[in-house]
Amino acid sequence: MNDHQEFDYIIIGAGSSGCVLANELSRDRNHQVLLLEAGPMDNKLLIHMPAGVYSVFKDPGINWNYHSEIETGMGHRHITLPRGKVLGGSSSINAMVYMRGHPRDYDYWAKHHHLPTWTYDQCLPYFKQCESSDRGPSDWRGTAGRLGVTQGKLSNPLFDAFIEAGKQSGQGVTDDPNGYNPEGLARLDATIKNGRRSSAAVAHLRPALSRANLTLCTHALVHRILSENHRATGIEFEHKKTRMHAVAAREVILCAGAVNSPQILMLSGIGPTEHLKQVGIEPKHHLPGVGQNLQDHLSVSVVYESTRPITFHHAGNPLYKLLVGSQWLLTRKGLVASNIWETGGLIRGDADVEYPNLQYHFAPVHTDYAGTRVQLYQGFTTQVDQLRPRSKGEITLRSADPAHRPAAHFNYLSDPFDLGELVQAVKRARELVSQPAFDAFRGKELAPGAHVRSNRDLENFVRSNASTDYHPSCTCRMGTDPMAVVDAKMKVHGMEGLRVIDGSVMPDIVSGNLNAPIQMIGLRGADFILGRNPLPPFQADFAFNHPA
């Protein structure tokens, strides 16, 4: 592309929402659309092999490889924070679990953040429009969308034991965690289609790349959004070591994620005035909420040895890798066509919570990392997330240099409530695995270990071992109060021609994985930008009582 070229829309970030918007906005051939991505094309074969997630999600060639600042509540550790730096963003390196969150999350947004257009009945039609689910059409599911969504079907006795233990423990089971009953253990959905990862790039962007009115520029590091008189006019970016500019006739749309979107706003002089001055940036628009309200899901893993060699530890054997890799290349089936985390679900830590506050992901293997190299062992892992943390952090700038990583202060476990829920999470996972369904498989408890019993010992275990489930969000939140960054249509407060449309606009993190909600947000954003009539709300029936 040429320097100072003009486009109608400039989209910063080819991640989960950016790919959706690039497709939607370029459908009208009269719209000239520029899509910028800091990373490369998604050409690595391992990206598209679902089981290849263990190799790609820490690959420095396609990953920002961020980490938190020292987290005092987590044993003074830096917590690793992989973020996709590749076409498709984090949807190209994540574990592909498709979860929408609980319907009550969105109704809470509407009620408590004064966002009446974000109730679940208004979001559900966009979830359905986005997906093509192999579960078949229903009030809750769509089958004609671009995003391939497949229910886990890999056979393993440990998956069956996990579901049966849900019944035996009273924690509950469900046929579809995104359907009528969002609570209980289930076979999870994954963003996989025909045995391949269905990333946002594959599902939404690639079908649009042949359009002459869509320009994709990879390896493009955005320096700042240009503005005049509180209106975004374009961007300044670096491409192949050359400083370039692009003009936006209509809008600049920031889709860089919960870490990079607030970073780019602040680099552009939009954010907390005093902080901008401290790092040598001229303030252009005081917006104190930029970078604030950072939220994430913390998780703990309860790990057991398996007494039977039925786990997926064989996948670490080079000969076995060759066998299953060849099977996938020829048939798109087998172990490589699975994301491994095929079962899980939403549960309550105790009877007093209004709706599920914990989430399971279960894998019939025990994994560990030596650097970026994965090691597999004969065991099984029950990972439990705390879904609605009270601890909140912030993204700040370390300097005015766009090449410097921003500082991520999560303040994990700064609210004592969160530590209590994660202790509760370990107890619930132990309760689950103690059920008769696991009797034939349950070996030694490897983590936390049978000796870790008291609440104090469990608290120490959580502080030393809990980690992110890679769901940073909420740093440019929607709302109407002075700390909100965007309005209900994701327009930046006090600016014209500028929106943020990604996971950073969530006012509160949802109770589940974030990729599906972010794509829904992207679809809704396209309607707002183009002035299209919204999809009609749909009031589906849901079971919100305790599981049977």
DSSP state of 534: P
Query: Is 458 inside any structural domain?
Result: yes
Query: Is 322 inside any structural domain?
Result: yes
CA–CA separation, 65 and 140 (whole Å): 36
Query: Is 486 inside any structural domain?
Result: yes
Q: What tens digit of pLDDT does each residue of 371-388 get? A: 667 788 999 999 999 999
Give the model's pLDDT for residue 371: 65
Give the model's pLDDT for residue 548: 38
Q: Which of 504, 450, 526 shows the shortest CA–CA distance to 204?
A: 526
Q: What tens digit of pLDDT does each residue of 498-537 get? A: 999 999 999 999 999 999 999 999 999 999 999 999 999 9
| Residues 389 and 295: beta-carbon distance below 8 Å | yes
How far is the first Cα of the chain from the last one, in angstroms, to the nearest whole number?
Answer: 59
Residues in the chain: 548
Share of the chain above pLDDT 70, in %: 99
Three-state DSSP state, 542? coil
Query: Is 399 inside any structural domain?
Result: yes
CA 524 to chain centre: 17
Give the model's pLDDT for residue 269: 98
Query: Is 535 inside any structural domain?
Result: no
The pair of three-digit structure tokens given for residue 83, joined into one six-digit string: 């973020």
371: CB partners within 8 A, 6+ apart: none
Query: Is 540 inside any structural domain?
Result: no
Residue matched to tokens 């959004």: 225
Cα 188–190–194 angle (5° rounding)?
Answer: 125
Catalytic residue among 204, 245, 471, 546: 471
The pair of three-digit structure tokens given for residue 226, joined into one six-digit string: 């240009």
Q: What tens digit of pLDDT does each residue of 384-403 get? A: 999 999 999 999 999 999 99
Give the model's pLDDT for residue 547: 43
Higher pLDDT, 256 or 367: 256
Give the model's pLDDT for residue 545: 58
Q: What is the mean pLDDT of residues 469-484?
A: 97
Catalytic annotation present for 361: no
CA–CA separation, 417 and 158 (whole Å): 32
Q: What is the mean pLDDT of residues 170-182?
A: 97
Q: What tens digit of pLDDT does each residue of 247-259 get? A: 999 999 999 999 9
Beta bridge partners of 228: 231
Q: What tens digit of pLDDT does each residue of 152-173 get? A: 999 999 999 999 999 999 999 9
Is the C-alpha dihedral spanning 13, 14, 17, 21 positive or negative? positive
Give the domain CATH number at 36.
Answer: 3.50.50.60
Q: Could you give the number of structural domains in the chain? A: 1
Query: Is 518 inside any structural domain?
Result: yes
Q: Which of 228, 275, 276 shows the shortest CA–CA distance to 252?
A: 228
Beta bridge partners of 217: 36
Helix-then-strand count for the chain, H and E: 13, 29
Q: What is the pTM of this model?
A: 0.97
CA–CA separation, 475 and 287 (whole Å): 12
| Residue 349: pLDDT over 50 | yes
How do strand 366-370 and strand 285-286 relate by DSSP bridges? unpaired
Query: Is 543 inside any structural domain?
Result: no
**How high does pLDDT run on average in the chain?**
96
Give the model's pLDDT for residue 372: 63
- The secondary structure of the chain in percent helix, strand, coil, rounded to multiples of 5, reads 30, 25, 45
Q: What is the mean pLDDT of residues 129-145?
A: 97
| Residues 533 and 159: beta-carbon distance below 8 Å | no
| Residue 546: pLDDT over 70 | no
| Residue 463: pLDDT over 80 | yes
Cis, bond preceding 448 (omega within 30 deg of 0): yes
Which domain range does residue 14 map to? 5-530
Is the C-alpha dihedral spanning 167, 168, 169, 170 positive or negative? positive
Q: What tens digit of pLDDT does each residue of 44-58 get? A: 999 999 999 988 988
| Residues 267 and 402: beta-carbon distance below 8 Å | yes
| Residue 181: pLDDT over 90 | yes
Q: What is the mean pLDDT of residues 95-113?
A: 97
